[in-house]
Amino acid sequence: MFQEVDLSHFVAAHADGALVVDVREPHEYEAGHVPGAHLLPLGTLGHRARELPAGRPIYVVCQSGSRSRAAAAHLHQLGHDVRSLLGGIGGWISAGHPVIRGARANAA
């Protein structure tokens, strides 16, 4: 089974350079996303999952946590080491963490 992690765990992993995948829609991602997060909408996950590296933990985020749980379950079935952020990016923003606006994935 995949793991669900709380915000404090995610913050520490993010600070250590974790691979973050945002499974929301492009307009949601562009409105504000975790710095460094890569956009991979849930609807495209089936045919794009092979783009993700094997053997490295993947942190999946969405707005509130429900889409990330679905994505994490799918990626886990494919053999990935995956974690879903409880509370999603909504929790990240509410806690005052930085967000990037626009389509840039790897901005700081």
Residue in 94, 96, 92 with CA at minimum distance from that of residue 37: 92
Res. 29: pLDDT tops 50: yes
Residue in 61, 73, 80 with CA at minimum distance from that of residue 10: 61
Q: Is 62 one of the catalytic residues?
A: yes
Q: What is the predicted pLDDT for the residue at 69?
A: 97
User: Could you give the C-alpha distances from 56 to 47, 53, 66, 81, 83, in angstroms and in order?
Assistant: 19, 6, 22, 6, 11
* SS3 label, residue 59: strand
What's the pLDDT tens digit per position in 36-88?
999 999 999 999 999 999 899 999 999 999 999 999 999 999 999 999 999 99
Question: Can you tell me the distance from the alpha carbon of 105 to that of 6, in angstroms, rounded to the nearest whole number?
Answer: 22
**Identified catalytic residue from 18, 20, 49, 62:** 62
Domain positions in the chain: 3-45+54-94
Q: What is the predicted pLDDT for the residue at 107?
A: 38
pTM of the model as a whole: 0.93
CATH of 3-45+54-94, one of 3.90.660.10, 3.40.250.10, 3.50.50.60, 1.10.10.60: 3.40.250.10
Res. 35: pLDDT tops 60: yes
